[in-house]
């Protein structure tokens, strides 16, 4: 099996993009003697890429949760500095049972998010 880069095949597409014209462009590209093929990745390379993508996804999700926690608490007038320490301060406010600035249900939701964010 040989792989072709989509960038190399794109030059052979003659009109709008659909499956039929893509297949035609691939057939045209394969017949060209100067077509360059992409080497297949090893299992180790694919594993490394998967690890990087999973880490990137986790960081994006963690950032989204932290930003949501900040935004929801800001709606109740509770703000803290940017950064990890600021988020920790916000979560201390949420966990404090003596602090009555937040209703019970938002506290439960924010504590669930905090547990997921910490892992």
Residues 55-67 have pLDDT tens digits of 999 999 888 888 9
pLDDT greater than 60 at residue 119 = no
* Predicted local distance difference test score (pLDDT) of residue 77: 93
Regarding whether 59 and 21 lie in a shared domain, the answer is no
* CA-based R_g, the chain, Å: 25
How large is the average pLDDT for residues 77-88?
A: 89
| Residues 68 and 79 grouped into a single domain | yes
67 shares its domain with 93: yes
Read off φ and ψ for residue 64, nearest 5 degrees: -65, -40
What is d(CA 84, CA 81) in angstroms, rounded to the nearest whole number? Answer: 9
Q: Is the pLDDT of residue 2 over 90?
A: no
Q: Say whether both 34 and 79 belong to one domain.
A: no
Instruction: Note whether 54 and 5 are same-domain residues.
Output: no
Domain that holds residue 101: 43-118
Q: How many domains does the chain have?
A: 2
């Amino acid at each position: 099996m040989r792989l072709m880069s989509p960038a190399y095949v794109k030059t052979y597409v003659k009109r709008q993009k659909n499956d039929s014209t893509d297949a035609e462009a691939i057939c045209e590209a394969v017949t060209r003697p100067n077509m360059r093929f992409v080497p297949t990745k090893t299992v180790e390379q694919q594993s490394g890429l998967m690890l990087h993508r999973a880490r990137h996804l986790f960081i994006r999700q963690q950032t989204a949760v932290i930003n949501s926690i900040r935004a929801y608490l800001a709606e109740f007038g509770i703000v803290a500095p940017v950064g990890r320490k600021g988020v920790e301060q916000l979560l201390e406010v949420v966990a404090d049972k003596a602090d009555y600035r937040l209703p019970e249900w938002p506290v439960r939701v924010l504590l669930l998010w905090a547990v997921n964010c910490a892992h």
